[in-house]
Amino acid sequence: KRNYAITLLPGDGIGPEVTTVAKNVLDLVGSLEGIEFNFREMLLGGAALDVTGVPLPDETLSVAKQSDAILLGAIGGYKWDKNEKHLKPETGLLQLREGLKVFANLRPAIVFPQLMDASTLKREIVEGVDLMVVRELTGGIYFGKPRGFGTDENGEETGYNTEIYAAYEIDRIVRFAFEIARKRHGKLCSVDKANVLEASMLWRRRVIAIAQEYPDIELSHMYVDNASMQLVRYPKQFDTIVTNNIFGDILSDEAAMITGSIGMLPSASVGSSGPGLFEPIHGSAPDIAGQDKANPFATVLSAAMLLKYGLGEDKAAERIEKAVLDTLNRGFRTADIYSAGTKLVGCKQMGEEIMKSV
Amino acid sequence: KRNYAITLLPGDGIGPEVTTVAKNVLDLVGSLEGIEFNFREMLLGGAALDVTGVPLPDETLSVAKQSDAILLGAIGGYKWDKNEKHLKPETGLLQLREGLKVFANLRPAIVFPQLMDASTLKREIVEGVDLMVVRELTGGIYFGKPRGFGTDENGEETGYNTEIYAAYEIDRIVRFAFEIARKRHGKLCSVDKANVLEASMLWRRRVIAIAQEYPDIELSHMYVDNASMQLVRYPKQFDTIVTNNIFGDILSDEAAMITGSIGMLPSASVGSSGPGLFEPIHGSAPDIAGQDKANPFATVLSAAMLLKYGLGEDKAAERIEKAVLDTLNRGFRTADIYSAGTKLVGCKQMGEEIMKSV
Ligand SMILES: CC(C)[C@H](C(=O)O)[C@@H](O)C(=O)O
Ligand SMILES: CC(C)[C@H](C(=O)O)[C@@H](O)C(=O)O
């Protein structure tokens, strides 16, 4: 029997509800595939702040590092919104990404045929959209130094951050993206702002250099402002997108919303060694927390990404993906994706339905 | 007779074609409203590079500064794409904005009822969209120092830029945006990334401070990743948006594409004194340059913004706006906005039709 240690980070808001569902699905799939999961639940975000006073306790990071993969629910909430920076739930997440060195963030944006009408875009525009945003996750303006507050020559207060990339940071994420593109449809679009920013000029130069190693991949470059338009105009033109941390933050959310199924989309964050971090792209939805209304699909699909990209358990991953589609086909919907003629269920019952489909 | 000196910067690609139309429309409207325009055409962008070797000749900037307003076509093209940074057409535009100190960039995103079906979004989502993005234009990561290329402690090449805002820069753009919101529907949404970036934390703090002066305006804050989603999800929730230079670049283009009428949208860039800069938001479209296919509406509407925001000639501005709507109502369309049942015309003829409607 294969045995894996999984760190569970339920976090805040709806995080615990959706994580419970995903854990149960993993257990069931494991029992069918001869895999044993040892789950260990740790504190992160607001939940950690309330108990330990910091958003990422040392113990959470060290347990996570020693495990085989990490499944995260969601973090954040009104309660901690006014906290100082080092006491924000978000800071805990950023420290976790940095601590795990998970530089590659995979964010698929897929339109589920069953949910196509949930998109605000026309059917012919979104039908068949299946793109992957590969976002650099541990560099750029999120982590660049110097950063902080200062005073300019006129005594005016300033706030500043540094967008910085070193060649090796670009090379590794770009290679990663080329490999992903190769497993998908062989097209990679690199998004930058090389007509204005030096950090982007280096980015583009490195992309062009690395492309020599991937003559089979069709490479294009796009400015970020244009990319934000093209996602709306004709999302099907994209296969794999690679971009920096901040542009990836913006564009992957835009792409997710275009699918109309934000409650359905998972993400994976991986490094060159060590465990990966898997989480839904949606937030902690404090307004519906604890009401059994949350959509657990995105977290369940994050568990599938954990199996595939984290543990190499492709067969188990496919079982989960199929179960999700089957549950959708059987008409079950949480409130966020409900439409007339389908069956409205809560988070818990959805979990049970998914397990029936496994 | 009122007399104004207007600097014309036709620029590259379709720039000259659309600028000619707008100039003719201005002349006609001027003759009807008792306004005389003295146009002076100057070089900018690729056109300037080819003749003078720099993208913004000193003479262009000094003539522009001494004029009452500046009308710009578009800049850029494949020919200069590989130029070094200081020899890029884009650099000329950035130097012009900096030289004119036009810190406030107004980018309306309006859905024209006649063109609603051109949007990739569903009718019920885009019908009635009318929002204004107020983008900070002379600060932030576009101009922040230090910037450039370097080597890190491991001898790796780096590229870096600085996102920096001083309090006074934030205050003036935010006040400007509050004033715009007051003339519109009284709602202002400030977009930042204050959960991660210090520059955004200062931004949010200043917005909250300035808001004291505008108790009549309904203020909200949104993270940039969420804003990029909300524009797709429900664009009608927005009235006026204020944000920094780079986020404004991305979000205003996204908002424009959502309307489906990118060839229709103008922009205005103004400072606290001196002439304003008015230009369509679309690019130079080198693929259709010189073929009499360009859509001149966006430049003609930029001329209307020039009259309104640059010269305070509101009546003349309204004449142009009405003429544009009338021309659309009479069914004339350039190729980019053509649909079955309408009349396809070229750039020149569209100019004549607009003049008939004036
Ligand atoms: C919560 C926040 C710090 C985070 C980010 O900006 O990376 C989130 O938006 C995301 O995309 O995972
Ligand atoms: C051409 C480029 C430098 C410019 C910008 O990024 O500001 C353009 O995209 C714009 O939005 O006017």
Best of B83, B87, B250, B282 to mutate (most A CBs within 10 Å, chain A): B250
Predicted confidence band at B1 (pLDDT cuts at 50, 70, 90)?
Answer: confident
Q: Whose CA is nearest to atom 11 of ligand 1?
A: A249
CB of B90 closer than 6 angstroms to any ligand 2 atom:
yes
Average of pLDDT values for A139-152?
Answer: 98
- Indicate yes or no: CB of B161 within 8 angstroms of CB of A162: yes
Q: From chain A, pick out residues whose CB is under 8 angstroms from the CB of B226.
A: 253
The nearest CA of chain B is from the CA of A245 a distance in Å of 12
pLDDT digits (tens, 9 = 90+) for A219-278: 999 999 999 999 999 999 999 999 999 999 999 999 999 999 889 999 999 999 999 999
DSSP state of B193: -
The dihedral region occupied by B79, where left means phi > 0, alpha psi between -120 and 50, and beta the remainder, is alpha
Which ligand 1 atom is the nearest neighbour of the CA of A281?
A: 12
| Interchain CB distance below 8 Å, A163 and B165 | no
pLDDT tens for each residue of A16-39: 999 999 999 999 999 999 999 999
Residues of chain A contacting residue B258, judged by C-beta atoms under 8 Å apart: 232
pLDDT single digits (tens) B176-217: 999 999 999 999 999 999 999 999 999 999 999 999 999 999
Instruction: Give phi and psi for B293, each to the nearest 5.
Output: -110, -10
Which ligand places an atom closest to the C-alpha of A91?
A: 1
Selecting from B125, B196, B253 the residue whose C-beta is nearest the C-beta of A225 gives B253
**Closest approach of B297 to chain A, Cα-based (Å):** 19
CA-proximal residue: ligand 2, atom 2 (nearest): B90
Q: Do B158 and A195 touch (CB under 8 A)?
A: no
Please tell me the distance in Å from A248's CA to the nearest CA on chain B.
Answer: 9
pLDDT of residue B313: 98
**Chain B nearest C-alpha distance from A211 (Å):** 18
CB contact under 8 Å between B163 and A168, yes or no, is no
- Looking at A12, A68, A142, A308, which residue is catalytic? A142
Q: How confident is the model at residue B58 (pLDDT cuts 50, 70, 90)?
A: very high
CB contact (8 A) between residue B94 and residue A197? no
Q: Would the pLDDT of A81 be above 90?
A: no
Q: Torsion-angle region of residue A146: left (phi > 0), alpha (psi -120 to 50) or beta?
A: beta
Contacts of B221 in chain A (CB under 8 A): none
Helix (H, G, I), strand (E, B) or coil at B82: coil
Ligand 1, from A72, A94, A133: best to mutate by most atoms within 8 Å of Cβ?
Answer: A94
Nearest CA in chain B to A255: B229
Give the single-character DSSP code of A307.
Answer: I
Ligand 2 contact, A226 CB (< 6 A): no
φ/ψ of residue B190, rounded to 5? -95, 125
- Mean pLDDT (chain B) is 97
Write the Ramachandran bin of B274: left for phi over 0, alpha for psi from -120 to 50, otherwise beta: left
Please report which confidence band the pLDDT of residue A61 belongs to, taking 50, 70 and 90 as the band edges: very high
Let me know if A249 is a catalytic residue: yes
Distance CA A67, CA A4 (A): 8
Domains present along chain A, CATH in parentheses: 1-102+260-358 (3.40.718.10), 120-254 (3.40.718.10)
A193 belongs to the catalytic site: yes
Confidence of residue B24 (pLDDT cuts 50, 70, 90): very high
Task: Report the alpha-carbon distance of residue B147 to residue B161 in Å, rounded.
Answer: 4
Q: Is B314 an active-site residue?
A: no
Distance of alpha carbon B136 from alpha carbon A319, whole angstroms? 49
- Identify whether A142 is a catalytic site residue: yes
- In terms of DSSP bridges, do strands B157-166 and A157-166 run parallel, antiparallel, or are they unpaired? antiparallel
- What is the arithmetic mean of pLDDT over A294-302? 98
- Respond yes or no: is residue A253 known to be catalytic: yes
Nearest to A161 among B120, B163, B258 (CB): B163
What is the tens place of the pLDDT at every residue in A182-220? 999 999 999 999 999 999 999 999 999 999 999 999 999
Q: For helices A224-233 and A245-259, what crossing angle results, to 10°?
A: 10
Q: Can you give the pTM of this predicted structure?
A: 0.97
Angle between helices B347-357 and B15-33 (to 10 degrees): 10
**What are residue B297's phi and psi, to 5 degrees?**
-55, -45
- pLDDT above 90 (res B152): yes
Is-contact A46 A79, C-beta < 8 A?
yes
| Cα B14 to ligand 2 centre (Å) | 16
Residues above pLDDT 90, as percent of chain B: 98
Under an 8 A CB cutoff, do A161 and B224 touch? no
- First CA to last CA across chain A, in angstroms? 20
Q: What is the pLDDT of residues B154-184, one digit of tens each?
A: 999 999 999 999 999 999 999 999 999 999 9
Q: What is the mean pLDDT of chain A?
A: 97
**What pLDDT shows up at residue A1?**
86
Q: What is the pLDDT of residue A157?
A: 98
pLDDT of residue A261: 87
**Angle of CA points B323, B325, B327, to nearest 5°:** 65
Average pLDDT over residues A152-171: 97
For ligand 1, atom 8, which residue shows the shortest CA distance? Answer: A249
Q: How many CB pairs under 8 A join A and B?
A: 179
